[in-house]
Structure 1
Amino acid sequence: MLTKQHIIKYLSLTILLLLCWLEHYNHFIMRFIDSALVQSTLVYASSRTVNAAISLLQSAEVGIGIASIQPAQLLDPVNDLAEYMSDAMRLAIGSLFLQRILYTISSGVIFSSLFTVSVVAYFICEWRNFLPNLRHKIMASLILIRFLVPAVVLTTGLVSQVFLDEQINQQSEIVSEKV
């Protein structure tokens, strides 16, 4: 007899199986990763440009008689901020490239076929009550491999949009005004 838990489990596995083969889902995740890569690269490039411009200004000296000063040294905190931002963006770009590679591998035809065969085998083993511990571990591992990267990408993107985008834009405007 099928319990409510069994029905939810079978329905969830069927939905994951459909998502595995759904091209719109795969393209959506890839576009999301590519969009984040472009945004991170633009922020990295702009922070490196600000850093280079301030470094160039800081190298200029103004000399009056025996004394010389470097007025652009006042921009040192902004220069440090640009360096920190570029370092953070370098890490973000590396993380996004790694996520893109992992998603490309896990969303390929070979892995999708393996996932499909595993789901069918899981249903058969569940019906026959064969290898209960092993089937759950294998299925959990394959679900994590196939759907963990998209889940991480989507949740970090949504958290960023909801909580961080406004603050990032405000900080960017402040830095732009100071520069």
Structure 2
Amino acid sequence: MIELKDIDQKRKLVTTGAVVLVLFVSWSGVIDYLSKEYVNASTVQALAAYATARVINAAVSLASSISVSASFGVGFDIQPFQILDPINDLVEQYSSAMKFAISSLVVQKIVIEAISTLFFKVSLTVLGLVFIVSLYIRNGFYSFLLFRIFAFLP
């Protein structure tokens, strides 16, 4: 029969293994590198999409301003490309959304740079080791709080 103490011991060992794995992945830098590459590629794509939207906006604005005038006794003036005005509004809204996307990507790049530092990795390691030790001392009394801090940090 499996005792509660055996289950608790297995839980502690699995938790310890998971923390060590997180620390190993943090120190390896693989996720940092992949994240930087992804954010850089996404930023280039977002900037290209924003530039394209601005060019389309300029072209539609220019076309909308073209007017044709004629007079056959009575003069009249028409702007045949005013029908493109809803498209112009849509492109303006799209370019505004792209501004937010670019801003978000810049913030993500800053966060990735911050968590790639030696200070962060050392802090994460110390906190992980303190959490592991807390599992085995006083029946893990403080481990719940330390786990939350450890999980929040990465």
Whether the TM-score (by the shorter chain) exceeds 0.5 is yes
TMscore range, shorter length: 0.7 to 0.9
> Percent same amino acid at aligned positions?
27
Per the alignment, residue 55 of structure 1 pairs with: 61
Q: Which has the larger share of helix?
A: 1
Give the superposed CA RMSD.
1.8
Write the distance in 2 (CA, Å) between the matches of 1:22 and 1:4: 27
Give the structure 2 partner of residue 112 of structure 1. Answer: 121
| Larger-gyration structure (1/2) | 2
Residue 68 of structure 1 aligns to a residue in which SS? Answer: strand
Shift of 1:118: 0.9
The answer as to 2:87 corresponding to 1:45 is: no
How far does the alpha carbon of each residue in 1:115-149 deviate from its partner, in whole angstroms, 9 at most, with x for none?
Answer: 0011111112222238734x433442343232xxx
User: Matches of 1:142 and 1:105 in 2, distance apart?
Assistant: 16
Shift, 1:6, TM fit:
2.1
Is the contact between residue 40 and residue 93 of structure 1 (CA under 8 Å) also seen in structure 2?
A: yes
Aligned to 1:140: 148
Indicate yes or no: 2:13 matched with 1:7.
yes
SS of match in other structure, 1:3: helix
Count of residue correspondences: 145
Structure-1 separation of matches of 2:85 and 2:9: 66
TM norm structure 1: 0.73
Going from structure 1 to structure 2, the CA distance change for 1:137 and 1:49 (only over 3 Å counts) comes to farther
Equivalent residues of 1:40, 1:89 under 8 A apart: yes
- In structure 2, stretches of 5+ residues that fail to align are 1-5
Q: In 1, are the aligned partners of 2:61 and 2:88 still within 8 Å (CA)?
A: yes
Q: What 5-or-longer segments of structure 1 have no aligned partner?
A: 147-179
Q: Given the two structures, how large is their TM-score scaled by the length of structure 2?
A: 0.84
* Structure 2 match to 1:30: 36
